[in-house]
């Protein structure tokens, strides 16, 4: 199993709707590590690391709209090499 990391930026109505918490729950269920955090421009940044197939499942979930209360307009993602290894999937402030 190859381990990969991605960084993604989710744009739309994604702050104040439980997006980070839903993403944390979904990522934890998939066995991924990383974090989700709100950005100043109203987007949410997500770093996810784990098995390639599981990371792809999370990206698909993000692109499908995430939690019901969110309105995702676009998801931009790219491969990422974090400076450290994450032990869980957290929420950053």
Q: Catalytic residue positions?
A: 20, 38
Q: Are strands 89-92 and 33-38 parallel, antiparallel or unpaired?
A: parallel
What angle do helix axes 19-29 and 52-63 make, rounded to 10 degrees?
Answer: 150
Q: What is the DSSP letter of 17?
A: S
Backbone angles phi, psi at 58, to 5 degrees: -65, -45
Q: Which residues make beta-bridge pairs with 14?
A: none
Q: How far is CA 25 from the centre of its chain?
A: 10
């Amino acid at each position: 199993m190859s381990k990969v990391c991605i960084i993604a930026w989710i744009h739309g109505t994604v702050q104040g709707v439980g997006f980070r918490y839903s993403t944390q729950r979904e990522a934890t269920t998939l066995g991924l590590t990383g974090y989700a955090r709100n950005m100043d421009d109203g987007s949410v940044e997500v770093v996810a690391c784990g098995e390639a197939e599981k990371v792809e499942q999370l990206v698909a979930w993000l692109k499908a709209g995430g939690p019901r209360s969110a309105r995702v307009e676009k998801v931009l993602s790219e491969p990422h090499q974090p400076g450290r290894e994450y032990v869980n999937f957290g929420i950053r402030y």
